[in-house]
Amino acid sequence: MMKDIATPVRTRAILEKYGFSFKKSLGQNFLIEPNILTRIVDHAEVSEKTGVIEIGPGIGALTEQLARRAKKVVAFEIDQRLLPILKETLSPYDNITVIHQDVLEANLQETIATHFHDCEEIMVVANLPYYVTTPIIMKLLEEKLPLKGIVVMLQKEVADRISANPSTKDYGSLSIAVQYYTEAKTVMTVPKTVFVPQPNVDSAIIRLLVRNEPIVHVEDEKFFFEIVRASFAQRRKTLLNNLVHYLPNGKELKPLIEETLEKIMIDGRRRGESLSIEEFAKVSDALSQVVDEK
């Protein structure tokens, strides 16, 4: 059995050999605790029929754990300095492809068609750079990729927001956007002490299982998310106030918005954070007809 990359001693040796210095701008924090990595792979239920997309492999600590169980791993690494390191650390494995590209600019449908045509399921598993966590997750979901799920490590506070329920301080447009597409669950908290360099905050591992159909049916998806964003624009304002101020033509449509909310029996004096996804769907469908008619 190969020695794990993710031990403090081996990580330090690799970084020293290549004279690697961390770039704050890329949010680089490497895990130095192999047990946590194996638990991430466990939560992702990776097997020999799984194709895995990894984002930000670093020096390959999680990548090797994935490669030991998956059929194939495709890892996107933005930092050119890590390519020679990955070439060496991952050389024992023949089921890994490293792509030097920003995943936000990648054509993932094409990646999947090219690399995973012989895999029965596809998972995204990654220790995400903190500064781009939300755009990456939203790209993966909005592009409606044929994913079974996403298991990622991210800032604990972001994980809390993603898996939050209505009427809690963490619940917001991010909770709704992610839960619309997936079943979201925080499966584990990870202390900051198991990273180099040590981040300022604790992390969490979240598991998102992609739904066959979104949790609610809405007439107009784009408008639904507009309504959600508007409703949380200022958390202390009422639903009605936010909709009037943040929807296009909201001010002139105020009487209609009020009337519509009354019709569907949703109190405009409530705050956005008290509405469930189902209630937002009701508001969106009712208002989309009003706005269309104008």
Give the alpha-carbon dihedral of 59, 65, 67, 71, to 10 degrees: -150
Q: In the numeric block, which tokens belong to residue 125?
A: 């598993």
Give the residue carrying structure tokens 């670093």.
58
Q: In the numeric block, which tokens belong to residue 137?
A: 């997750």
268 annotated ligand-binding residue: no
Give the residue carrying structure tokens 């972001």.
158
Q: Is the dihedral of CA 235, 236, 239, 242 positive or negative?
A: negative
User: In whole angstroms, what is the distance from residue 132 CA to residue 114 CA?
Assistant: 25
220 annotated ligand-binding residue: no
Q: Classify residue 237 by its DSSP letter.
A: S
The DSSP bridge partners found for residue 75 are 54, 98
User: In whole angstroms, what is the distance from residue 174 CA to residue 179 CA?
Assistant: 8
212 annotated ligand-binding residue: no
User: In whole angstroms, what is the distance from residue 155 CA to residue 129 CA?
Assistant: 9
Q: In the numeric block, which tokens belong to residue 73?
A: 């791993």
HSE, CB side, 13 Å, CA atoms: give it for residue 201: 13
242 in Cβ contact with 231 (< 8 Å): yes
285 annotated ligand-binding residue: no
Q: What are phi and psi of 279, to 5 degrees?
A: -70, -40
165 annotated ligand-binding residue: no
209 in Cβ contact with 169 (< 8 Å): no
Which amino acid is it at 26?
L
Binding-site residues for S-adenosyl-L-methionine: 29, 31, 56, 77, 102, 127
Binding-site residues: 29, 31, 56, 77, 102, 127
